[in-house]
Amino acid sequence: MPELPEVETIVRDLSKKATGLTITGLRTRDGRVIRQKSISQFSRRLKDRSIESISRRGKAIIIQLGEGHGFLVVQLMMTGQLIYSASGTFGRDTKVIFKLSNGACLHYNDYRTFGRLQVVRELKEIPYFGRLGPEPLENDFTAAWLRKELPKRRTLIKPLLLNYTFVAGIGNIYASEILFASRIDPRRPAASLGRAEITALHRNIRGILKKAIHFRGTSMNTYRDAAGEKGRFLARIHVYGRENEQCRSCRARVVREFQAGRSTFYCPHCQR
């Protein structure tokens, strides 16, 4: 599932390629991903609109349409892909193709069809944006803020990092990696973290997300960047998906456990 680094990679690439172009039309093969009253309304609100900017908030891609025509919001959810391509042909998992004024196309692919595409006048029409916590790479996400918030939370640290109302954009891969780098056991209550641990956690949240952006994300399964290429962070993963493999730091076996319905991977020796 694409998290902040993967979505950021897509957004940066697409910004370069598609900003200033116009959506000249679209073709839909599977309308289940379109969260509009009707597919024809969705098409009407996009046709002949220019692409003013492409940005990200949390794990959502925000395509701002020109002349106050609102926003196309793309939430990739589990297996969504947004790929810029010269081809106008539907691939196996292509649900929607947006035709662009330079002759290229944007393909929305989604193997499991959990993604969401929606045109809105204002972002607040989508409840997700109203509930989103701070962006971890913005300046207002500070260690001081974490020191103030963590003691108030009656939950374990790992599910808290996954909670998008607490902090935006972190999913299962990076939550596991951040806690490993911080040497914090994912089963610890959030309120039990000491000052030095919170400082380390803050540093690693920002450090690991930035590093993952640098390597263009993690292609565990279906994630692809806007050119259809895999990210290169997988080789830098320490615990996620490495159940029973040796910890790269101490050679103990990495453990997998279920927490709040999600897999959590950690090193019982390195993480306390």
Catalytic residues: 2-3, 59, 262
Out of 247, 255, 264, 265, the only residue in the binding site for Zn ion (CB under 5 A) is 247
d(CA 111, CA 79): 6
With binding defined as CB under 5 A, does residue 270 bind Zn ion?
yes
d(CA 198, CA 160): 13
CA–CA distances in Å: residue 90 to residues 97, 102, 106, 116: 7, 18, 11, 18
With binding defined as CB under 5 A, does residue 61 bind Zn ion?
no
**Span 2-21, contacts to Zn ion by CB under 5 A:** none
With binding defined as CB under 5 A, does residue 248 bind Zn ion?
no
With binding defined as CB under 5 A, does residue 267 bind Zn ion?
yes
Q: Which one, 138 or 245, has the nearer CB to Zn ion?
A: 245
Please report where in the chains the tokens 């292609």 appear, as a residue. 219
Angle (CA) 245 250 253, round 5°: 30
d(CA 134, CA 120): 22
In angstroms, give the least distance from the CB of 262 to Zn ion.
21
Residue in 246, 236, 247, 162 with CA at minimum distance from that of residue 205: 162
In angstroms, give the least distance from the CB of 247 to Zn ion.
3
With binding defined as CB under 5 A, does residue 250 bind Zn ion?
yes
In angstroms, give the least distance from the CB of 60 to Zn ion.
35
Catalog residues that contact Zn ion under the rule CB under 5 A.
247, 249-250, 252, 267, 269-270
